[in-house]
Structures are given as structure tokens and as C-alpha cells.
Chain A
Amino acid sequence: MQMPQPREELLAAKDRIVARLEEVLPDDAVISDEIELKAYECDALSAYRCPPLCAVLPASTEEVAAVMKVCHEAGVPVVPRGAGTSLAGGALPTADSVILGVARLNEVLETDYDNRFIRVQSGRTNLSVTGAVEADGFFYAPDPSSQLACAIAGNIAMNSGGAHCLKYGVTTNNLLGVTMVMADGEVVEIGGPYLDAGGLDLLGLVCGSEGQLGIVTEATLRILAKPEGARPVLIGFSSNVVAGACVSDIIKTGIVPVAIEFMDRPCIEATEAFVHAGYPDCEALLIIEVEGSDAEIEDQLSRIVAIAERHDPVEIRESASAEESAKIWLGRKSAFGAMGQINDYMCLDGTIPVSELPHVLERIGELSEHYGLRVGNVFHAGDGNMHPLILYNANEPGQLEKCEAMGADILRLCVEVGGCLTGEHGVGVEKRELMETQYAPADLDIQMAVKDVFDPGWLLNPAKVFPLEVSASRRA
């Protein structure tokens, strides 16, 4: 993985740039000490690291605007950072860039149950948005696995999803408005607590733009009334193919589970060894969750079980209590951690048409043998969002490269069967060079033209999303 060469003139101007930022921010909001900057040298894609020129932690929209004005004048690239949980390197800095962290922007600004929205500062964590409204019976729907730590700013940048988006949609479907600081420091308001845009849908464009169009400092989010209850059923199958077919049949019926999660044998075994969730010994399992009153849950689960029984299940385990539900979810929620116990891993995020699940799982198995690297599959099956975890040993020379090559092959496969490179993690630096497998030159050019409009100088997160060679002339 390559990053652009840092500009010597910016590295040389570090003291001057830091001094200017210190003039416009409170004392403790500018970090320029080399040791302290270590905290900002990578995000959750920790294979790649580079300390930034400095980091700033503004605490208001006005302070963010002041930072952007300084950086715009000095021509310094700015890399926005939410909570640093990106698996795609979205917050990876270059040596000549300023990290703009939104961690201090964490207030709830307004809660309105009659109109069902909440307005928050963007550094607030995903889970704490729900935390602010759940006592009153409401929740914020998008639930990425990192929701305890990840920030709304990052959710908007990557258009994050989660296990429950089969029913509730992803961030873009739940975002009503933003306050955003433009690359030159101008503050704009897009959308608001009402529905849809009056003109062009700029909000839809900003969501998922990986911090390349502006810095979102405040967000208006749709909140929903909590269902009366929710319970999962766990179903074990004798093969991936059968489990995949079962998913398709359930979706066709008209029951809308809130989540359909899939784990294959390597993942089941790893989680069993790690948390002893008591999962059945089988090739694949599904965890399907439905919502409603007790009677409604019974009704839906019995229909799901009836469909599953046509697919010769190894085991069906309906939850009858909160404890049993927690146990069913325990393994799934610990899956990444469990795989991490075995080895280093790379987590992919390609999405495929649900109908292609059996074929793609088979091909991933073949690639695993070809590269000699183990793969566990744990993912959101209802919407085809795969999460193959490729295991490798970072200490063994050549293994990371081998793992990257295999990951690229899997992502090409996803595109080949009609899917895409990334379903919810974003392109970042990780999938940047693969963009041309999904998009033709004209497709990428018009996306870059959008960035030209919002950020003519290409100062915001410039080395992300687009292949370096393709964006080179614009970044020059």
C-alpha cells in the first residue's frame, strides 16, 4: 500500500502551522508532540501507520471552521477522524497532514420525540445516541459492531450499516441533516429535521463521502420507537449452500427479520473455543432475529422454523428467554475477537447478491486453499454483506502481502458476481486501488468532479477512495 510523498515545504513549516493552529484553538486542543502523536498514526487498520504533522481537537463548529481556514490558507491536507475505528484506513494520516479529531464534539443538542429526531454533535458515539433516548422508548437504528466506540461523524463518512439494517437501513436512510464545515472554513447547513431535500440531495452525496467533501460537526438523526421485544432463533446446517438457500427462502416470504447473521465452521469453532456459547457442531449456522410482542415473535419464529425445516437443519434453537437470546448472540458478537485470538486477521467487507452466497462461499474456500491462509466467514446474510476474515501471521515476512492479495481476489469475485467492494466499511486506503475493478474511468471521473466542487484544492482526506494514479493530477 502506497501513500503520496509528504511535501517537504509543509514538513518544514510544521512549527509555523502549529503556532497558527494554537492561535485559533484553546491550549490543550493542538497536539504536536511526537510521542502524543503516536495515538493518531493509524486507525483500526493498524497494519499501516504514519504520524501526522499534528492533531487538533476542536470543541465547536466555530473551532473546526477556524482550523479549516488556517489549513486552507497554508495548503495543508486535513484528515478527519471520528473515533479511529475505521477498518479501511479512512483516518490514516500522511506525514504532512493535520488530523482533525471530533472527539470533543460529543453533546446532545436537541431531542424531539414528537417529531422523532435527535440533533447531536458528530463526535458522539453511535451507542450513546441510543443511550440518550432509550429510557424514553426510542433508539437510533444503525448499529455497526463498533458502536460502543465509533463516532457518528465516522458513521456518516462511511455510511455505516450494522446487523439490523436489513430492516432499518443504513446511515444514509436515517440521516436527516448536517452542519458541515467546508474545506475553506465556510459553515453550511444541509437538510434538517424534516424529510427530503428542497433542491439537489446534497445530504445523500455527503453521506458516505469518507470525509472528502467537508467536516460534519452536527447531525440530525431519525430516531424510532423501540419494538416491544426481540428474540433470535439459531439454526445449524450441514453446508453453507443449504444455509444460503434458507436465507433466500426466508426473505422471499414476507417476514422481515431485523437481522440474519451467518457463521461458517471456522468461525463457529473459533468462537466455541473462545466464549463457549454452546453452538452446535455444524458447517454453517444462521442467527435470525425478529421483533414484536411475545405472540408476534412466536408467530414469526414458527414461520421461519417451518422454512428452515425444509432445508434439513442440523439443529434449531429458539430462544425462550433473555438469557437464551444473549447466549445465542454471544458467539456472533465475539466472533471477531475469537478469530483475533487465533491469529492476526484482515476483515473484508464486499457485498454480493444474496443469491450468490453459496457460489461465493465455495470460491472463497478454494482461494483459501490456493493461498494457504485460513478464512472464517461471519456476516450479515440478509443483505449479502460478507465479512470474510483472512487469518495471517504479521510476524512472518510475506504473510501480510499474501493476505492482501487474497483479499483483493475475494473482492474482485464480489464485483464479478454483481456485488461491490465494500458494503459498510468504506474504501479508505484499503480498497482504493481496486476501484477500477468496479468503476470505469468515466464513473470515477465524475465522482472526482464532485470533490472538485466541494474541495477544489483536494485538501480533505486527499489520498483516499480514488486510486492514487487516477487522482494524481487533481492532488498536485
Chain B
Amino acid sequence: MKRIESEAELAEVVAGANGALRVKGGGTRDVGAPVVGEVLEVGISGVTLYEPGSLTMVVGAGTPVAEIDAVLAAEGQRLAFEPMDHRVLLGTTGAPTIGGAVAANVSGPRRIQAGAARDFTLGARFVDGQGRIVKNGGRVMKNVTGYDLVKLMAGSWGTLGVLTEVSLKVQARPETEATLVAEGLDPRAGVAKLSAALGSPFDVTGAAHEVGGRTLVRIEGLTDQVAYRTGALMDGVLAGFERIEGDASADVWAGIRDVAPLAAAEGAVWKVSVTPGDGPALLEALGDRVQGALMDWGGGLIWLRVPERGNCAAGVLREAVAKVGGHATLVRASAETRAQVPVFQPQPAPIAALSRQLKAKFDPRGILNPGLMGV
């Protein structure tokens, strides 16, 4: 294993590599087909620029997310896309890094309102598969200068290049938050409530449904504003919901973010993205294969736990997803299973061809996380 602490060194190592490299940040997101190769640990760490008045931060890709959270909190700010901590679900150890969060495009409940990791990544520097140092984007909020390779890098899981630095748009922490909760709704009723709340003018920043558990709607903002908005929702489309506030509210969403309700029990865990309206029917189609489910993003993001045997219901799940449009990723399963079952949603032929050709341009020798995405 090599731990690399500078971009120049990384470029040299990649250029001189004569075999596959397994790119590692904090090592907490063991997702994708297992990669056989020398481990390349990116330890390029530290906040290089932080301007609270411009809502921007530039950091080394290996900077722990916890360190960024602390620096931001000192100025009353935060990462808007509230990246999931995969340690809870995957049982991994180590410190999640910002490079890992961006490379995997990891976003939490606020994705539905604020946007994804890719939406808050303003710029990136990376080393491509030939060891070339590339920069794209910048540190300003609006930038259409040339192609947006930042979006391409976000969610490419280190298969196109190794991130060395990212610029982020950050967000002011709201004065307060509150969550409206109801128990006992089935998925159809729960998602209908979430849709109604998201269709209201009250700027909902979290909308989740624990299958067999609670239905949850979050409001954040100024104190009077949160009181008014939760009140208006409880008087209207969320009649019968109850309000929880402060730390209790924050704890609810940390659990949803980290898929805590599904973490403890054994089994394979899928992450499915469809429209919220397609979610309940998808659950019905899977029937009793599903041992636990959590719906976030208004119902459009479905975390499913199924028994880890055979292909983990990949056939029936992907057929159902393909029918309505969307994608399913096998986030938690043993390495043996992930070597057998395609972890990422197989793409239609023309899209798969484009993805393969892009990989060949960014990494002609095919040495960066080869096979991880199945590309």
C-alpha cells in the first residue's frame, strides 16, 4: 500500500504504475465490484482556502469529512448535501474523506431540496490514468467555462481519475429545524404525504418514510419561520403529524442519512432510485423478498434489505426498475457476491459504449479501479 501526500507524487506514481491501482480515501466506502490491485491511499489533506462570506471552501481530497464539518461549524456553516457515513451500514472503520464522498456522489436527505454532492462541487483537480494533472471548474458558484468534468468525476468512483482537491459550495446552518412525524402509514399513504409536503410552498428539506415505521418531514430555517411552516403543514396536508424539535430532530435525520434502520440486521442492501410515485409499486413487486426498507428523497430513494443469497434478487429488482425508469445499486454485500452480481445498474448499450470510451480516454491503460463500476 502506498500513502500519497502530494499531487505531484501521485502523478508520478500513477504514471509509473505497471498494474492495477485500487484508489482509497478513508476506506469506509467499500462499494462496487472488488478491485484487485495495489492500494493507493490518497492522503492529500487539509483546508487550503475557506471564505465563509463567499460560501466556498477548497480542500485536499483526503481531508476527513469530520474535519471539514468542524471547520464549517465554527463559522455557522455546513455541507448542504449531508453526505452519508457508510460506516454505519457497511461496518467499515476509518475516517470518511471528502474525496470519497465526491467520487461516490454521496448525498443525504437534503438532496431532495438542496442538491447532490455533484451539485455542490464547484471544481476539482485530479490525476488521470496517464498520470496527468487535470483541473476543471473553479471555486466560484457559476462557471460554464468549458465542459463540466466535475460532474463526470463525481460518481465515477475513482475509475476515471484520482481526485486530489475539490472546491465546495457550502451553506449557512439554519437557525433551527423541526421534524413532523406520523406512525403507521403504509408506503402508498406515506409517499402521498411526502409528495403533498414537497408540493407545498414550505421548502421541505427532508422527506422520508420508514417502511413499517415513521413518516418524516423536515423543515429548516429561522425560528419563527420553522414554527409557522410546520404549523401550516400540520393544519393542512400533514394533519395528524406531530412535531419534534432540536437535537431529537437532528438525530432522526442522521439516522436516515446513514440508513441506520437497515444497518443492524444481516442481508444485502440495495439503493434504488426511481420517481417517488413508482416506489410503492416497486416494493409490492418485490413482495416478501424485502426484509426491510427505508424510503428517502420523498420516496424516490429506496434502501432495501434482502437475503444475501443467489443474485440478491437482482433479476426481479432490475427488471422492475428498468420498467419504470431508474437504477439499482447493490451497496452492501460480501465481496464474493459483488464479484458475481453487477453492483451498478447495467446501462443501455449506447450509454454503456459512451462510458467505456470515456474510461478509455481518461485511463487508456485501464489501471484505475478497473472493473469497479463494471465499465
Chain A residues with CB under 8 Å of chain B are 112-117, 137-138, 158-159, 161, 165-166, 169-170, 172-173, 182, 186, 188-190, 192-205, 207-209, 225-228, 248-249, 251-256, 292-293, 295-296, 299-300, 351-355, 380, 383-385, 418-427, 431, 435, 438-440, 442-444, 446-447, 449-454, 465
Contact = CB atoms under 8 A, between A and B. Distances in A.
26 contacts: A112-B275, A188-B348, A193-B275, A193-B325, A195-B301, A196-B118, A199-B344, A200-B375, A203-B151, A204-B118, A251-B55, A252-B53, A252-B172, A296-B222, A299-B222, A353-B54, A355-B51, A418-B140, A422-B143, A424-B142, A435-B146, A443-B136, A446-B128, A453-B354, A453-B357, A465-B146
A173 B54 contact: no
Nearest to B138: A420
Nearest to B223: A299
A44 to B, nearest CB: 16
Given A383-B141, A442-B132, A355 B147 contact: no
Given A112-B277, A442-B134, A202 B355 contact: yes
Contacts of B135: 439-440, 443
A208 B138 CA distance: 15
Given A254-B76, A383-B140, A450 B149 contact: yes
Given A201-B152, A204-B152, A418-B139, A447 B222 contact: no
The CB with the most chain A CB atoms within 10 A, among B128, B147, B225, is that of B147
Contact of B145 (A193, A209, A299, A427): A427
Contact of A299 (B134, B172, B224, B325): B224
Contacts of B200: 225
Given A158-B144, A195-B297, A443-B136, 13 more contacts: A172-B151, A188-B348, A188-B351, A227-B201, A253-B172, A254-B76, A355-B53, A355-B54, A384-B141, A418-B139, A450-B361, A453-B361, A465-B146
B375 A444 contact: no
A446 B134 contact: yes
B175 A254 contact: yes
A338 to B, nearest CB: 24
Contacts of A254: 76, 172-175
Contacts of B347: 198-199
Interface in B145-170: 145-152, 154-156, 160
Given A114-B199, A296-B228, A421 B105 contact: no
B98 to A, nearest CB: 18
B148 A205 contact: yes
Given A188-B350, A199-B351, A207-B148, A385 B105 contact: no
B281 interface: no
Given A227-B203, A446-B134, A192 B375 contact: no
Interface string B261-297: 0000000000001111110000000000000000001
B334 interface: no
A36 B263 CA distance: 66
A201 B345 contact: no
A226 B355 CA distance: 37
Contacts of B203: 227
Contacts of B357: 453
B228 A419 contact: no
A198 B52 contact: no
Given A190-B351, A427-B145, A446-B128, A198 B273 contact: yes
Max chain A CB contacts within 10 Å: which of B128, B151, B173, B358?
B151
B149 A446 contact: yes
Interface residues of B, number: 86
Contacts of B155: 196-197, 200-201
A383 B142 contact: yes
A420 B56 contact: no
B81 to A, nearest CB: 11
A444 B145 CA distance: 11
Nearest to B196: A114
B169 to A, nearest CB: 9
Contacts of B139: 353, 418
A198 B119 contact: no
A351 B151 contact: no
B273 A196 contact: yes
Interface string B53-85: 111100000000000000000011000000000
Residue in A158, A225, A300, A424 with the greatest tally of chain B CB atoms within 10 Å: A225
A449 B361 contact: yes
Contacts of B118: 196, 201, 204
B356 to A, nearest CB: 9
B341 to A, nearest CB: 15
B211 interface: no
Given A384-B141, A422-B144, A446-B149, A198 B361 contact: no
Contacts of A225: 198-201
Nearest to B150: A204
Contacts of B327: 194, 196-199
Contacts of B111: 195
Contacts of A424: 142, 144
A170 B142 contact: yes
A334 B331 CA distance: 52
Nearest to A214: B354
B225 to A, nearest CB: 5
Nearest to B146: A447
Contacts of A117: 275
A422 B142 CA distance: 8
A17 to B, nearest CB: 26
Most buried by A among B142, B175, B344, B361: B142
B373 interface: yes
Nearest to A212: B147
Nearest to A351: B140
Contacts of A355: 51, 53-54
B147 A450 contact: yes
B59 to A, nearest CB: 15
Contact of B326 (A165, A192, A423): A192
Contacts of A115: 195, 275-277, 300
A437 to B, nearest CB: 10
Contacts of A425: 144
B116 interface: yes
A202 B149 CA distance: 10
A193 B324 CA distance: 10
Given A205-B152, A355-B54, A435 B145 contact: yes
